[in-house]
Structure 1
Amino acid sequence: MNPSGAPVRRFGAGHGVVLALSVAVVTAVAVLLAQFVAVVPGDRAYAAAGIPATGPMLPPGENPLYAIQEVLEKQSAALLRGDRAGYLRAIPATQGELRAQATARFTTLTALRVRKWTMTTIGIPGRVDDIWKLSVDISYCFDRDDCAPLDARVETRWAVPDGRLQLVAYEGSDRPWDDGTALVVKDGARVTVASADADPAILDRVLRAAEAAAVTNDRFATTLGGAPQRYHVYVAGDEEWLEWYGGASENAAAFTIPLAPGVSDVVVDHGTVTSDGWATTLLTHEFAHVVSLGGENPPYSAWWLTEGIAEYIANTDGSVLEDDLRSVRRYLAASKWDGTVTLGPPPSGTSLADANARYGIAFLTVQYLADRFGEERMLAFFTQVVRRDVAVDAASRSVFGTAWSPVAKDAASSIRAAAQA
């Protein structure tokens, strides 16, 4: 609930499932590689110079492919067995920054309970001057031995000073666990929360709210394809908010990133975690994307339905309806709505108040469908349109037994009546 009546900074118009449905499955471009270097955040690359000869021996003129594979295999094995010394063994003590970053990454990945981590080279290294370039695919996952693996790719650069292989450069990933800073990780029954923020009160509040949100969404998940193995929430500080997964748009308070079937990450701006109630509402909305989308990207045209059901699920105490109705009333009073219920995401430059109104219209449309046809059929309609990409009219005829046009017209009338009440 928003007692002040001011627009809620929940949504934005350009990033993430919550924001514009334009997100693609995000592929990380780097992870901690080999035993020689740590990732630099963002899209920057780190060039190592003067690294002591600590890598595998390589005969003159030999392609380094097999030596690179050996290095990656040893590093992966050390990570999975929790061998910090083995993980860091080949990083010289003189490379303090690299060693510190590698230590931070090892600490974070271990705290997140990394269970799968394989690194597969792609093709054969190509040489430019004295530098070898090679793509590497990473498959990883957390929590359980049977966890669903995620894929990432990194572009690596290697050199062979004094006959020994060295990793000298690679791009940095925008994944939260891969920014070179150790995250604080806490576990609940269904949720893992990781934070770059040093304030333990914020982390504890997010964990409490996330556990409550998980209970609500686990109930809906039984109809929407099943609950995730575990919910993962990353709490971003000011700097991380601008970098993780490419950063969020200006009006967002949180966003959800589909990564693979059954797996999504949620990122929350630490500055918006102002109360238990608000944090619970926010995370219930985000977890609704996790369970309703199942790690897949929805059709762009289904923005209204994707966001509407997230608002519907988040409306556990009526506060979402109260806030959304307030925004919709102002929107309609300003004659900004033409009666279309199948709205797309807020265009770039949309004010926060108008963006919230579009979410409100989406919610009220979903609420109308649930009231008229029952929640079970509303969820079945959602599954047809969003999960199976069935045309709205075809889904309406199949699930509701009637064409979509009169349903949409009645929904619009219902929204106008609610806004005037």
Structure 2
Amino acid sequence: MEDERHGSRRRRRGVLWAVVAVVAVALGCLLPAALVAAVVRQTAGRSTGDPASGPGGPAARLAAAIDAQLGRQAGALLRGDRDGFLAVAEPAARVDLGRRFTALRALRIAVWRAESSGQPTPTPGRPGQWRQVVTYRYCLVVPTCTPSPVLAATRWRETSDGPRLVAVEPSASAETGTRPWEVSELVAAVGRRTVVATTPDLRTRLPGLLAEAEAAATVADGYVVDGVPPDRYRIFYAGRAEWRRWYGGGRPAWTGGYVVTVGGGHHEVVLNADALRTGGVADLLRHELTHAASLPAGGWSDRHAWWLVEGTAELAGAGGRPVRRYAGLDDVRRLVAGGGWDGRLDTLAPGADAPADRVAASYGVGYLAVRYLVDRYGGQRLLDFFAAVVHDRRPVADAAREVYGEPWPELHDDCVARVRAAVAG
């Protein structure tokens, strides 16, 4: 146990292992910037009465033919018919599509629907080719899930036998970024509560990751706020190149893991393999899966409640250890002693360029504050408070009075006093 504690401290001094990066991804927010011009052209064509875009016009007939091809491809994917999935595409597109097929089948694709958005538009400089915006909706493992949407641009070539798929562009939306199955080869393992995926070169990690994920899911299920646990926790283990690419990359240097909201009420977790070489996977999984269990379906972005969201996940990540064995206590002690914090929980969130020790201390303060609430009032009231502040977006003063029966200024000061007492001496 002593080695585990010291190892965790080394990780926190180098690369902090947890960050929540969730955003609201209603369908309208999923539009990649590269597709805006195409959608505008489609709308403009319809509004000016362009006969080519009207009912029965060439674009409308092509759109119907493309929908038919997308339907055939979806059916083939769900049947596991690789040849049928590739049959709608040009030979040059089949390597990319074959990789997508293999990745989605590894993830146990259970629902796959493709819906055209608007009508196709001619591709500039490519005679006979058309661009069609498509919304893909998918479920992993569980066919009764609410599907997650992905909006992407597809390109098609007209032939005497109907439209042929030339390419599917990755969905590079600013809000969510590119999904792993769009750009990487994947292998996966599926358990009772989780699905864990990585690249083939890291496949030897899958059995251990799955076992740790299943154990973490049991803990995370205890932090479900709205009464509906995730149908499966979705976890992606990223090597160095994938970490920079999946979901847009660009995370702060101290990040070892994050969760991103992908629509349909689903959150997907990404772990940084490089940051976890010395261990800590179990703690990180408990933390991130607790985010997936507790956060609103549409995401969350209020920095004023950062301490509550991260402190709750840290409580789960600590795995029931006593406060004295929390790995970030030294960082909290330095922050409190050095005057680098103004003593307010609502200003605790670190900036993206904050040094690792300041970030670790912020997580530690959040943990100690939440731990105080649980020790004093119990876990259920914490979940009720979380629901009021994070899900219902109630003012924290109203939520404190309703859930705890206390004025928030006094309760806040009690939390801060607990933080200071925990690191005194």
Instruction: State the partner residue of 2:58.
Output: 62
Instruction: State the partner residue of 2:99.
Output: 104
Contact kept? 1:305, 1:342, Cα under 8 Å: no
Instruction: State the partner residue of 2:79.
Output: 81
TM-score normalised by L of structure 1: 0.83
Contact kept? 1:29, 1:172, Cα under 8 Å: no
TM-aligned CA deviation for residue 10 of structure 1: 5.7
Is 1:281 the counterpart of 2:277? The answer is no
Instruction: State the partner residue of 2:395.
Output: 391
SS of the aligned residue for 1:402 comes to coil
Instruction: Give the counterpart letter for 2:67 in structure 1.
Output: Q
Instruction: State the partner residue of 2:163.
Output: 165
Aligned mates of 2:353, 2:344 — CA distance in 1: 20
Instruction: State the partner residue of 2:25.
Output: 25
Instruction: Give the counterpart letter for 2:235 in structure 1.
Output: V
1:260-409 matches, within 5 Å, as: 260-274=263-277, 278-300=280-302, 301-318=304-321, 322-409=326-413
1:351-371 deviations in Å (ceiling 9; x for gaps): 000011011111111111112
Q: Are the structure 2 counterparts of residues 183 and 264 from structure 1 closer, same or farther at C-alpha, using a change threshold of 3 Å?
A: same
1:217-238 deviations in Å (ceiling 9; x for gaps): 12333x5523211111111111
1:199-252 deviations in Å (ceiling 9; x for gaps): 33322222121111011112333x552321111111111111011111132111
Aligned mates of 1:24, 1:340 — CA distance in 2: 27
TM-aligned CA deviation for residue 295 of structure 1: 3.3
Contact kept? 1:385, 1:395, Cα under 8 Å: yes
Is 1:236 the counterpart of 2:202? The answer is no
SS of the aligned residue for 2:229 comes to coil
Which of 257, 260, 263 is matched with 2:260 structurally? 257
Instruction: Give the counterpart letter for 1:78 in structure 2.
Output: A
Unmatched segments (≥5 aa) in structure 1:
13-17, 31-42, 45-60
Aligned mates of 1:402, 1:319 — CA distance in 2: 26
Aligned mates of 1:238, 1:194 — CA distance in 2: 15
TM-aligned CA deviation for residue 91 of structure 1: 4.2
Contact kept? 1:20, 1:345, Cα under 8 Å: no
Instruction: State the partner residue of 2:122.
Output: 127
TM-score normalised by L of structure 2: 0.82
Q: Identify the structure with the greater helix proportion.
A: 2
Instruction: Give the counterpart letter for 2:220 in structure 1.
Output: N
Contact kept? 2:213, 2:285, Cα under 8 Å: yes
TM-aligned CA deviation for residue 164 of structure 1: 4.9
Instruction: Give the counterpart letter for 1:151 in structure 2.
Output: P
The sequence identity of aligned pairs, in percent, is 33
Instruction: State the partner residue of 1:35.
Output: none
TM-aligned CA deviation for residue 287 of structure 1: 0.5
Is 1:204 the counterpart of 2:207? The answer is yes
Contact kept? 1:263, 1:294, Cα under 8 Å: no
Aligned mates of 1:165, 1:89 — CA distance in 2: 11
Contact kept? 1:69, 1:121, Cα under 8 Å: yes
Contact kept? 1:259, 1:295, Cα under 8 Å: no
Contact kept? 2:220, 2:290, Cα under 8 Å: yes
Instruction: State the partner residue of 1:15.
Output: none
Aligned mates of 1:20, 1:345 — CA distance in 2: 11
Unmatched segments (≥5 aa) in structure 2:
36-56, 172-177
Aligned mates of 2:208, 2:97 — CA distance in 1: 29
RMSD across aligned C-alpha pairs, in angstroms? 2.7
SS of the aligned residue for 1:134 comes to strand
Instruction: State the partner residue of 1:114.
Output: 109
Instruction: State the partner residue of 2:152.
Output: 154
SS of the aligned residue for 2:413 comes to helix
Contact kept? 1:150, 1:259, Cα under 8 Å: yes
Aligned mates of 2:241, 2:307 — CA distance in 1: 31
Aligned mates of 1:188, 1:284 — CA distance in 2: 16
Aligned mates of 1:123, 1:140 — CA distance in 2: 20
Q: Are the structure 2 counterparts of residues 117 and 193 from structure 1 closer, same or farther at C-alpha, using a change threshold of 3 Å?
A: same
SS of the aligned residue for 2:117 comes to strand
Instruction: State the partner residue of 2:46.
Output: none
Aligned mates of 1:357, 1:62 — CA distance in 2: 62
Aligned mates of 2:410, 2:234 — CA distance in 1: 40
Is 1:195 the counterpart of 2:187? The answer is no
Count of residue pairs the alignment pairs up: 383
